[in-house]
Structure 1
Amino acid sequence: MSANKRNPVLVIGLGRFGGSVARTLERMGHEVLGADTDGARVQEYAQHLTQVVEADCTDSRCLEKLGAKSFSSAVVGIGSDIEASVLAVLALSDLGVRSIWAKATNEKHGRILERTGAHHVVFPEQKMGERVARLLNERLLDFISFGDEFAIARLAAPERIVGLPLVTSECRKKFEVTVIGVKREGQDFLHAVPDTIILPGDMLVVSGRVDKLESFAALDS
């Protein structure tokens, strides 16, 4: 889909999470209507978003006036005020918005949001905390978790497999991880195939269970 045809998105709550989502959506080519009860925050984002309004979006009548029914997607970025978060999701659900994303501060909050009508619940602080903890061991250089103990990580190639083609090192069989690709300094990303030979200094993109990824990254220890 081309950028000028991307669907408009309503973002409620322009704090750190909601504001980051809104700005990123704008850069991706979406029209974004941002809403917040804080007038100063509305002014801050006035130059960055398609439209920003000071409004209480916990009220379905207010959302209706803003044209929320015309949005197929909405993001509720309210986190600190759980009641406002839940009411905003409920109001969006009552208006028939088809894809509602909502920020949750904890598991209980998340369950309430799901039962209220949120289609997707995210835990940004929890995810970032986990990511930082994984990176602190200095073996995983980058880390993306998918929430079911499966992840993709970037790591330095263990010496044990350097000089070998992937078909010989048998990473999937021996270490229960899959090498997806290889990045070498000054070269484009290489999609890994059985004949790919791992060279000294290679950075690998690897998928698998988190514990297996960490064990694989620690092979030289």
Structure 2
Amino acid sequence: MGNYLHNLRRRRHKRLRDVAGHAAADQRVAVIGLGRFGSSLANELTRRGWDVLGIDTDSTLVQKHSDILTHSAVADCTDPVVMRQLGVGDFPSVVVGIGTDIEASILIASNLLEEGVPNIWAKAISRQHGQILERLGVHHVVLPEHEMGERVAHLVTGRMLDFIEFDDDYALVKTITPTTITGVPLGESAVRTRYGITVVGIKRPGQGFTHATAETVVEKGDVIIITGKTRAVETFAELS
């Protein structure tokens, strides 16, 4: 499971870079499935100024979010004719937010691929579901429960306040400063050579975040942002 999720993240980040220029030029997206995942995503994209079409077979869900979304429709996108009538194939980005009905998720993804949608995101509820979507050719597969579980596990088991992992086994972490590097400039504490991490930001109690330099002296109680290989930042965050 760990290797699968890691490889999935790497492929997703690479594909995201490949389509970033296209997505930035056309901020239209269709979100199919307005459950908790789809509605949250659709509402956030709308808040950010995107032109969002929200679609669901449940009229109650569509009505609930119709005042927020740019456009909304009650429709069954497992039917390719219905999808064409809605013009979903003309959108540069489409999100399949359906998780519980795996058959519907796969059928809709297949329809989108047939329509030639250039940027398809799909939610998966299991490793097997994700593998099927990838084999179909879906550009971005998201496993929100698994990825959030992995993130929270890092927060529960250590001193981390936040954890974000990128491709190539690289992570960004917010954590409490360990006493081993307090009281001296970062350049003298040699965190890079000793721990394999870089301190990029610092926040003192009652103050905002500032960039860290070699001359920055961190003190007990400071919150720091560190980056480096995942295992290195995990080890550093365990220091007391």
User: TM-score normalised by the shorter chain: which range applies?
Assistant: over 0.9
User: In structure 1, which of residues 200, 203, 210 is the aligned counterpart of residue 230 of structure 2?
Assistant: 210
| Paired residues for 1:98-137 under 5 Å | 98-137=118-157
Question: Which residue identity is paired with 2:203?
Answer: K
In the TM superposition, residue 143 of structure 1 has moved relative to its aligned partner by 1.1
Q: How many angstroms does 1:105 deviate by?
A: 1.1
Once the two structures are TM-superposed, the CA of residue 211 in structure 1 deviates from its matched residue by 2.9
User: Which residue number in structure 2 is paired with residue 56 of structure 1?
Assistant: 76
TM-fit CA distance, 1:135: 1.1
Query: In the TM superposition, what are the counterparts of 1:16-31 in structure 2 within 5 Å?
Result: 16-31=36-51
Out of 93, 114, 119, which is 1:94 matched to?
114
For structure 1, the 5+ residue unaligned runs are none
Distance 1:36 1:147 in 2: 33
Aligned residue among 43, 59, 70 for 1:39: 59
Q: 1:146 aligns to what?
A: 166
For the aligned residues, what is the CA RMSD?
1.7
Q: CA deviation at 1:148?
A: 5.2
What CA distance in whole angstroms lies between the structure 2 residues aligned with 1:147 and 1:213? 15
SS in 2 for 1:136: helix
Amino acid of the structure 1 residue aligned with 2:186: L
Q: Is 1:165 paired with 2:185? A: yes
**In the TM superposition, what whole-angstrom CA distance separates every residue of 1:110-166 from its partner, at most 9, and x where no partner exists?**
121112231011110001111121111251111112365432111001111111111
Query: Deviation at 1:46?
Result: 1.0
How many Å apart are 1:184 and its aligned residue? 1.8
Match of 1:76 in 2: 96
SS at match of 1:56: coil
Distance between the aligned counterparts of 1:26 and 1:174, measured in 2? 45
Structure 1 residue 214: deviation in Å? Answer: 2.5
Check the 8 A contact 2:29/2:52 in 1, yes or no.
Answer: yes
Structure 2 partner of 1:13: 33
Aligned AA (1:41): L
- Aligned residues: percent identity? 48
Contact 2:164–2:173, Cα closer than 8 Å, also in 1: yes
Instruction: Give the superposition deviation at 1:210.
Output: 3.1
Structure 2 residue runs without a partner (length 5+): 1-20
What's the secondary structure of 1:201's corresponding residue?
coil
Map Cα deviations across residues 39-63 of structure 1 (whole Å, 9 max, x no partner). 1111111111111111111122111
**Equivalent pair of 1:58/1:87 in contact (CA under 8 Å):** yes
**Aligned equivalents of 1:130 and 1:121: distance in 2?**
16
Matches of 2:158 and 2:134 in 1, distance apart? 36
What SS does the corresponding residue of 1:144 show, helix, strand or coil? Answer: strand
Displaced runs of 4+ in structure 1, greater than 4 A?
A: none
Deviation (angstroms), 1:200: 2.6
**Higher helix share goes to which structure?**
2
Query: Does the CA-based 8 Å contact 1:139-1:214 persist in structure 2?
Result: no
TM-score relative to the length of structure 2: 0.85
Please give the TM-score of this superposition, normalised by the length of structure 1: 0.92
